[in-house]
Amino acid sequence: MVFITNQKAVLYMGSDEKCTLCDGKIDHPYLAMKEWDIDGHLCGKCYSKKLSEFYPGEHERVNLSE
């Protein structure tokens, strides 16, 4: 029972998290890189944006739909 409770807690924490940049709900939290000077987690969209801002040209293989 303890195991199940722990699992629930983790799931809840994950879904309750907000993006540091856009304050949107995070489905899958991304950890900001040290050199970005951002404290907290990012949503996938902001993470991709930051990547392309900081490392232009290096991430062309990332599939950005916008």
Q: Which residues bind Zn ion (CB under 5 A)?
A: 19, 21-22, 24, 43, 46
Nearer to Zn ion, 32 or 46 (CB): 46
Q: Minimum Å distance from CB 60 to Zn ion?
A: 21
* Half-sphere CA count of 15, side-chain side, radius 13 A: 6
Cα radius of gyration (the chain): 15
Nearer to Zn ion, 43 or 51 (CB): 43
CA gap 2, 12 in Å, rounded:
15
Q: Minimum Å distance from CB 42 to Zn ion?
A: 6
